[in-house]
Each structure stands twice: as C-alpha cells, then as structure tokens.
Structure 1
Amino acid sequence: MNTSTGASTGTSSLAVRIGGETMLLLPEKALYWPAEKMLVIADIHFGKAAAFRALGVPVPRGTTTENLAGLDALVDAHGARQVVFLGDFLHARAAHASATQQAMLAWRDRRRELELILVRGNHDRHAGDPAGALGIELVDEPHALGPFAFCHHPDLDTAGYALAGHIHPVYMLATRFDALRLPCFVVGRERMILPSFGSFTGGHAIRPEAGDTIYVTSGDAVHCVR
C-alpha cells in the first residue's frame, strides 16, 4: 500500500491492489481507478434533503450543490473521464423537484465530456430513473467491467471482485475518554464496500468480518486502522 497526494485537493489518497489493479482510496469518500481514469461513487443520494423538507422536516438546503462541487473537485484533481455511481443516485421521488433537477442539469451541461454510469440501487427503484437529459447510462447490478463487478449491494454472488455501497459504513475509533465515528472503506478478499459520498446521508457502524481491512478517512487522508 502506498500513499499519494491529490493533484489539487491537498489531500492524501491511499493506493491498494485489488482485482489485479491499483486503486486509490480517496479521502473525499470515493474510489479512483487510474488505469481507466474512473471515479467510483457510492450512495450520493441526490434530493435527500428535499425529500425531508417535503415531509415538513426542517433540514438545510444546498446539499445538491455541495455534492456536485465535490464531484467537480475530484474530476479536476484526477482528470477523470468517467464516473460510475454504485446506486442510490436519487434518494426519493422528491429528488425530481425542479430546483434539484436544474442544479444537476446545469452541472451536466458543464461536464458533457464525462461518461456517467449508474448501477441502479434500491432507492433508485423507488425514485425512478434520473432525467434522460443527464445522459447517464443505466445498468443493473452486477455490472461487469474488467476484473470488477460494480454493484449496489455488497452481498451479491459475483464473478469479479465486487465494488459496492449501500451500507454507508463508518468505523468507531475509541479511547478511554472519547470516541469518533469516521467513514470507512471495507476491503475484503472478494469485495470492497465504499463509504457514502453524499452529504446528509449518515452512516452505519460496521463490525469487520474475517479478512476485512478497514481504511478510515478523516477528510484529509486515508488511514488503515485494522
């Protein structure tokens, strides 16, 4: 494993070897495949805040803008040519609200050079497919590409090494006096679970299985803790 520094984000990624390929675990809670110039993003949940507001829950605005700015920063820093979303691109039908859609379409107009692929997740099935004007290729899991199976759910039986999301994994770092929950990558022998990329998505504390290695992100760097 090696550490590398992002081109312009000022953060330190960590290189791991899986499926015979070198992949970068990014502090921004994403995965980068340098050989394919591909960003892999799990659980961005566009429109989640809008869905809560539609139910009368007073939550902050601006999460869509924040998520798109995060994508922009990673695309520019790594020179990505394609982005694969590992499910839950949209949170609910409320994600089709005008303000959310306009923000995503304006971003897409600036990023027409990017190839976008969405592996449908459970929220996508309820929310409905994203607007056709976004130019996203829609596929079902598992989506095979090279040595990998791109999935939403991490428990599928796949022919290739599985890259998945769904869990929103976080790991608890504890001392005698305090505890900290950090987003993490769960890297096993046959699958990797990515942290949730989206803001306002929460996390699920995981218990590593036999053979799992845990890499937490502080937002600035990725560290192996188990």
Structure 2
Amino acid sequence: MKLTYGNSQFIMHSSGSLYWPSKKVLLIADVHFGKIDHFRKNGSALPNEVSLENFKKLDRVIEEFQPKGVIFLGDLFHSTQNRDWDRFTAWVKEQSVKMTLIVGNHDIIPLYYFEDLGIKVALSLNIDTLFLSHHPEEKLGFWNICGHIHPGYRLRGEGKQQLKLSCFYKKEYQLILPAFGAFTGHFLIEPEENEDVFVLAENEVLSLR
C-alpha cells in the first residue's frame, strides 16, 4: 500500500518493512535476531526454524524491492552474541546492499562488530524532512519514523472473535513501524480519531479507514 508521509512517497509492505522509492531505501524495525536462541538457552522449547525465518523474510523483501540501502531502525539483535550472530555475519557478507543500524535499546553487542561488517552505525538520522530513530521521538520541523513499540491492533468480529495483527501506526508527525522479526509480540494500540492504522494481513496491508 502506498503512503504519503513527510512530503515523501512510501510503500508499506506486508512484511512490516517500509520502502522509500525516491531514495531506494528499505526501512526495517525490530528484527530481534537472536531472540529465539536467547529463550532456548534459558529453557524455552522454541523451534530453531523461527530464527531462520527472519533471514528468509529479509531475503524476500530485498529481492522484491532491490534497494540500494537498508536502514534498520534499532533492535536488530535481541541480546548478546549467539548462533544468530554467526548466521548474520555470513548473511551480511553475501549482500551487496549498503546497511545502516540506528541503535536500539536491545543492541548491546559492541557496535564496532557491526562496523567491522561494513554496517554504518548511528543513534539517529535526518534525511530531508524525516527524522529516523528507534524510540518514538519528536523533533521540531521533522516527521519521525521509528520502531520500538511493536504496534498491534485487535480486530473484533460480530461473533466476539478477536484477532491481533501487527500494524503500521501513523500519527500526524510520527510513523511507527511494526516489528519485522518473528516472535516479537505486540503492544496493542488504541488510535485517536485523527490517527491511522494499517494492519498486516497475510500478503496485504489494509487500512482500517
């Protein structure tokens, strides 16, 4: 689904990524690599295939858009190094796209490890009229694009059915991306009247309006 925001045109993708055609840049928030291994190490019986799905999902969206750059809006990794770091290192070495990491609160792996892989690291970025950050922030004169909260929306049916879906959450000067990674959970939002919600439904992005 196309979206006009901050004087720019974007494409909201059902993966939870946001493509910026004029810059040929793909924006991705909250992959949380290593989260599955982190929980498995602490005794949770979780399938290893879930961790691999994040890499497959990245490959699919990069193949679809063919971007020149990928900007990760924080929480690329969930915790300290584990097996996913080795997988990530191998994956990065196969990519030709330029990558940038905006540091999130979970990105506790030493930042020079990312820089050694050729990934640019920043606390935030200003590009034209946009302010890219991990946490939702306000900056005078800019439109914020961020992640962090893993927005979700609860749909209710007439028969009291309920379905929780990840979503893009758009305020007047802020656009919060859904978590890209599997097994990340949701923070259920209750939008105000002048705010927009775009839910991810299989291979579509649907506006609640």
2:194 matched residue in structure 1: 211
Offset, 1:170 = 0.7
Offset, 1:219 = 2.2
Unpaired stretches in structure 2, ≥5 consecutive residues? none
Q: SS of 1:173's equivalent?
A: strand
**Cα distance between partner residues in 2 of 1:136 and 1:117:** 5
Q: Read off the aligned partner of 1:162 and give its amino acid letter.
A: N
Unpaired stretches in structure 1, ≥5 consecutive residues? 1-13
1:90-169 → structure 2 map (5 Å cutoff)? 90-93=77-80, 96-97=81-82, 99-111=83-95, 113-124=96-107, 126-129=108-111, 130-141=113-124, 143-169=125-151
2:183 matched residue in structure 1: 200
1:80-99 → structure 2 map (5 Å cutoff)? 80-93=67-80, 96-97=81-82, 99=83
Q: SS of 1:88's equivalent?
A: coil
For the 8 Å contact 2:102–2:133, the answer to whether it is kept is: yes
Q: SS of 1:32's equivalent?
A: strand
1:220 matched residue in structure 2: 203
**Cα distance between partner residues in 2 of 1:110 and 1:185:** 30
For the 8 Å contact 1:148–1:163, the answer to whether it is kept is: yes
Q: Read off the aligned partner of 2:150 and give its amino acid letter.
A: H
Number of residue pairs aligned between Structure 1 and Structure 2: 207
Offset, 1:220 = 0.9
Q: Read off the aligned partner of 1:16 and give its amino acid letter.
A: L
After superposition, the C-alpha distances for 1:170-226 in whole angstroms (9 at most, x for unaligned) are 111101320111111011110100000001111111111342111111021111104
Offset, 1:51 = 1.0
Relative distance call for 1:175 and 1:103 in structure 2 (3 A) is same
TM-score w.r.t. structure 1 length? 0.87
1:17 matched residue in structure 2: 4
